[in-house]
Structure 1
Amino acid sequence: MTTIGFIYPDHAAEDDYPLAEQLLGGSEAAEGDIRLPVAHIYGTDLHAVPELLDLGSASRLADGAGLLAKHTPDAVVWACTSGSFVYGWDGARDQADRLATAAGVPASSTSFAFVHAAQALEVKRVAVAASYPDDVARLFVEFLAAGGVEVLSMSSADIDTAAEVGKLSPEAVVDLAVSHDHPDADALLVPDTAMRTLGEITDIEAKLGKPVLTANQVTIWEGLRLTGTTRMVRSLGALFRAGR
């Protein structure tokens, strides 16, 4: 059995993780049990730089690693995009390294998951459909650039809190994504783990005709990558259809 632990901030769209666990262990997946336990840490859910820096601090993530210890995870992922890219590339690397030390297993974050997923799909140019305020969304663009991913267009829905994002209807999620693509982009990125997206990826990809990378999707994939595990799950988008 492979166990991947996720540290998730507050509450919003964490039900994407038991859904993924079901899909990864169901009829679409290869043999072998996968468990995706989620531990919650609490701070603010405001999409603002000072609050995000506090949310992703070493002490908070160490607390999350402690909560996951009872599950004996093989890897741990900080399931928060803004709470990792807000530190910049080097700061986010240090954050992941500290988390790995605290957890005693390989660790990463959603921000690095986006870059690694883009590399896996050989995606170079992207559009970003962000729910964040503009100043926060621009930090994600800078992070992607540091990882060699060019952003052709970036939209910011200017939603202040994760709780508000978590209340978006499936139709609103699809509309936000589809309406903010760029015709020359190799893929569309939707970077907020507070947004429920796993059930909408197939619809969005069908409408756009290109890969779609969403925060909870790439976070789960990153955990699998850290453990050397691959799964082909057609309903989780191009990233999982190739069994990478």
Structure 2
Amino acid sequence: MRFVSSLPRRSATAVHVALGVQVLATAALAMFEQARGRRLAREISALGGDPHAPGAQAVVGAVTVFAVLMMVITVTLIATAAAYLTWLIQARQNTTRPGASALPTLAAWLVPGVNLVVPPVLLYRLWWASHPPADRHGRWVALLAAWWLSWLTTLALILVRLPLHATPGDASLTGLGPVELTAVTVSALLCAATVRQITRIQAAGAHRRGTGTDSITPRAISKIFTRRAAARQVHPAGR
């Protein structure tokens, strides 16, 4: 398979940056939740939703900070998703042809239900199509499985565990804590590792094609030099 010249290195860098910002934003929200969230939730509940109730002005600053943090979280999630899909589409086009349809990739991630199963399969096929070293297959499968399990765990913690544990006596703003932050961080690190692996393999493949050494393996080069040395011994120079 022939790779196009524009490797998705910039897209990979954008993914890494977006993931880093997402983790930082999540950490900031988790810290706010632990330091002020529970008390703020109780204060807002006591006000009954009336912005003119006594004591409402005392929580304006904290509510503003919380609103800004939530906005940052939303923006970083959108930016991360856009950066990742851009990289994934470009990486797949490098193994097929420039301008190949992006619909399969978008459907794998955006169709409910499908996006719980198909994305790791798509990434596995992309890794194979990038012509990786055969001895790295086991490590790649382990990395891919760890990333996807961490991602599903993060979804379960945020979308399932937090609502189930939201009780009136344990009021909080988001329920975000150290466990959820750890899950987000691990998932982001593993996702970045999968992006880096595929990008490096495609870059190495393009470099070999650019230098014209793609079809010559180290073993073949060794055989060439061995034969030349044997020929010189049989026919010494000057005879």
TM bucket (normalised to shorter chain) is: under 0.3
Q: Larger % of strand: which? A: 1
Q: Larger % of helix: which? A: 2
TM-score of the aligned structures, taking structure 2 as reference length: 0.25
Q: Which has the larger radius of gyration?
A: 2
TM-score of the aligned structures, taking structure 1 as reference length: 0.25
Q: Which gives a bigger RCO, structure 1 or 2 (Cα 8 Å, sep 6+)?
A: 2
